[in-house]
């Protein structure tokens, strides 16, 4: 039962923006969860909250685009163009993969995905690149936590079994 609660805590912790997989997954591993299941649980938690951000952001973007095409709506073309060019410049300089892999460390996965949507990236590509990024980060931080724990913790102090 205690192990199930730890998995639930990793899932919920990785679903919280700013806490995400880089804190929740290592915490789960340090509390005794195996590396791969902890990383997978963190991945699922983070992706579960990424999906509404991507799909909701895409719906908002399409509605705003429709409103801008309406000739009766007031338009401020100068500020729209400068904002769009700045977002487009960032995407062009670093690409969607660059944003997906640096976003979790700089501004968080959810904010980086929202930025990618605002810059005009396709939701399919956002989901692919951000899922890869989350999977790599989850596994990377789980392995780092495991390596650190096995090097500094005596065997008798580990909560769930022993390590070679």
Q: What is the pLDDT of residues 93-134, one digit of tens each?
A: 778 899 899 888 888 899 999 989 988 888 999 999 999 999
**∠ at Cα 93 (97, 85), nearest 5°?**
115
For tokens 């960032």, the residue is 90
Q: How far apart are CA 77 and CA 62, in angstroms?
A: 17
4-8, 75-79, 84-88: which range is least confident on average? 75-79
Q: What is the pLDDT of residues 18-73, one digit of tens each?
A: 788 889 999 999 888 999 999 999 999 999 999 999 999 989 988 888 888 876 65
Query: Taking the mean position of all CA atoms in its chain, how far away is CA 118?
Result: 17
Using the Cα atoms of residue 59, residue 61, residue 62 and residue 64 in order, give the sign of their dihedral.
Answer: positive
Task: Provide the whole-model pTM.
Answer: 0.78
Return the domain boundaries, the chain: 2-66+82-157
Q: How far apart are CA 45 and CA 129, in angstroms?
A: 16
Which of the pair, 45 or 159, is modelled with greater confidence?
45
């Amino acid at each position: 039962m205690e192990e199930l609660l730890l998995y639930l805590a990793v899932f919920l912790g990785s679903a919280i923006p700013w806490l995400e997989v880089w804190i929740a997954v290592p915490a789960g591993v340090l509390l005794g969860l195996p590396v791969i299941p902890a990383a997978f649980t963190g991945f699922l938690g983070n992706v579960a909250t990424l999906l509404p951000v991507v799909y909701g952001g895409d719906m908002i973007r399409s509605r705003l685009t429709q409103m801008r095409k309406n000739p009766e709506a007031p338009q401020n073309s100068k500020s729209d163009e400068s904002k769009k060019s700045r977002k487009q410049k960032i995407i062009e300089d670093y690409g969607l993969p660059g944003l997906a892999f640096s976003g979790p460390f700089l501004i968080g996965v959810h904010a980086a995905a929202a930025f990618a949507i605002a810059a005009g990236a396709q939701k399919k590509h956002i989901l692919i690149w951000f899922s890869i990024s989350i999977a790599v980060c989850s596994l990377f931080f789980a392995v780092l936590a495991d390596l650190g724990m096995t090097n500094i913790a005596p065997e008798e102090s580990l909560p769930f079994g022993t390590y070679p």
